[in-house]
Amino acid sequence: MSKPGEILLEKVTKKFGSFTAVDSVDQVIEGGSYCCMIGPSGCGKSTLLRMIAGHETLSSGRIKIGGTDVTTMRTGERGTALMFQDYALFPHLNLTNNVGFSLKIHGVNKAERKERSLEMLERVQLAQFADRMPSELSGGQRQRVALARALIMDPQVLLLDEPLSALDEFLRLKMRVELKRLQDDLGITFIHVTHTQPEAIALADKVIVMDHGIIEQAAHPRVIYDEPHSPYIARFMGGQNVLSGKVLQSDGQEILAESPDGSKFDFAAKGPVTEGDTVRFSVRRDKIHVVSAARQDKNTLKGEVANVEYQGTFVKVGLNTQQDDEFIIYMDDRAYFENPLNVGDEVVSEWQAEDVCHLLGDNNSSGD
Ligand code: ATP
């Protein structure tokens, strides 16, 4: 049995001429969960969202919401509401009439429209401004009106296309908390498209990372961040260094690999590898220690300090190493200022095998 608001995507595909914007996407989004879709510009997030909303037809595949096949259903019939990036409020209508607009279209009488619109404005803490026009509101207030308007028809699923992008940093963080609170209160499914990794990690029960029309990884934010599936996810989500080495030995459980400068690394295997293969793995930037001489015979990397940036709660140290990717360490600020580093210093960095994630897939990055 499907839960209300559960979304099932089966081989969902969208082609624009010969270009495939969304490529055979399969996914289940649990009813009543908060899902964030993230990926570089042009990867197909908005197209997928619009297909769920019914604003875009599918080239092939199927979408079910709460167990009902909605693939060919009209927008207003599928129990979804879409909140647009620019809010699209009607400038000539006051807040009550903006929020109650869909009720009017559905023939709800004036008195009931007013009552339900006010209730919804109450929910987003704007009832005191019910008679104002949108131009008399702040950006954050306008966003809350757009939310109230999207929610007035009691959708099972609320679709949000970059809902916080028009707000300044301070307001964005505040509204982020409000969105989560609202989703908890309503218990409906939220699907939120964003460009911002911290936003996806902070809000979502499930993060869907897309690239070139496909889903690269879909999982709880902690899994996405801590156990990236591929080099692309590790780089895109940030907070990780991507390293590579040649496999010296593997018993299927553990891998021992070596980099060209002779450094050896060991970590848990996530998939089969053979001796001589090049493997890639990620190491959390905040789990790396800087020492003047190696204290262990594995999981160390030598480098020259290339740059140092104080970030307030930690210090970001960039090293030049023999690896292809930039190698970055997030040092505890107190530890750093006890033993500050200078550009040009030769240092050794080291970490534990459990802070390493074996990366599968050979894609490196999106063209973004
Ligand atoms: P952004 O984060 O920049 O909004 P996105 O991941 O949401 O990007 P989409 O808007 O889904 O990307 O677009 C995916 C791809 O499909 C892009 O290459 C875009 O140019 C293309 N595309 C979208 N709509 C159309 C259209 N109506 N006709 C032709 N191509 C389109």
For residue 362, pLDDT beyond 70: no
Comparing C-alpha atoms, which of 33, 35, 38 is closest to residue 228? 38
What mean pLDDT do residues 29-33 have? Answer: 97
What mean pLDDT do residues 177-192 have? Answer: 93
For residue 102, pLDDT beyond 70: yes
For residue 367, pLDDT beyond 70: no
pLDDT averaged over the chain?
Answer: 92
DSSP structure string for 220-265: -HHHHHHS-SSHHHHHHH-SEEEEEEEEEEE-SSEEEEE-TTS-EE
For residue 1, pLDDT beyond 80: no
Q: How far is the centre of ligand 1, averaged over its atoms, from the C-alpha of 213 (Å)?
A: 10
Is the CB of residue 54 below 6 angstroms from any atom belonging to ligand 1?
no
Q: For a substitution probing ligand 1, which of 13, 14, 16 has the most ligand atoms within 8 Å of its CB?
A: 16
For residue 334, pLDDT beyond 80: yes
Three-state secondary structure call for residue 196 = coil
User: Distance from first CA to last CA of the chain, Å, rounded?
Assistant: 40
For ligand 1, atom 7: residue with the closest CA:
46
Burial of 7 (0-12, 13-18, 19+ CB in 10 A): buried
The distance of Cα 287 from the centroid of its chain, to the nearest Å, equals 22
Is the CB of residue 46 below 6 angstroms from any atom belonging to ligand 1?
yes
Give the pLDDT score at 294: 77
Is the CB of residue 41 below 6 angstroms from any atom belonging to ligand 1?
yes
For 261: left if phi > 0, alpha if psi spans -120 to 50, otherwise beta; the answer is alpha
For residue 18, pLDDT beyond 80: yes
Rounded (5°) CA angle 161-220-47 = 25
Q: How far is the centre of ligand 1, averaged over its atoms, from the C-alpha of 366 (Å)?
A: 15
Tokens at 242, concatenated: 């991507």
Q: How far is the centre of ligand 1, averaged over its atoms, from the C-alpha of 39 (Å)?
A: 12
Give the pLDDT score at 326: 87
Give the pLDDT score at 364: 47
Burial of 195 (0-12, 13-18, 19+ CB in 10 A): middle
84 versus 221: the higher-pLDDT residue is 221
Confidence of residue 292 (pLDDT cuts 50, 70, 90): confident
Cα separations in angstroms, 264 against 60, 249, 259, 356: 48, 11, 7, 13
Comparing C-alpha atoms, which of 307, 309, 315 is closest to residue 338? 315
Q: H/E/C letters for each residue in 321-342?
A: CCCCCCEEEEEEHHHHHHCCCC
For residue 205, pLDDT beyond 60: yes
Tokens at 185, concatenated: 């209160």
Confidence of residue 123 (pLDDT cuts 50, 70, 90): confident
For 241: left if phi > 0, alpha if psi spans -120 to 50, otherwise beta; the answer is beta
Q: Following CA atoms 83, 88, 89, 92 in sequence, which dihedral angle do they give, to the nearest 10 degrees?
A: -160
What mean pLDDT do residues 256-260 have? Answer: 92
The distance of Cα 143 from the centroid of its chain, to the nearest Å, equals 20
For residue 368, pLDDT beyond 70: no
Across the chain, the runs of DSSP E, i.e. the strands, are 7-16, 19-29, 34-38, 60-65, 68-69, 80-83, 157-161, 189-194, 206-211, 214-219, 240-250, 254-258, 264-268, 278-284, 289-291, 300-310, 314-320, 327-332, 346-350, 356-359
Tokens at 34, concatenated: 């908060």
For ligand 1, atom 18: residue with the closest CA:
42
Three-state secondary structure call for residue 218 = strand
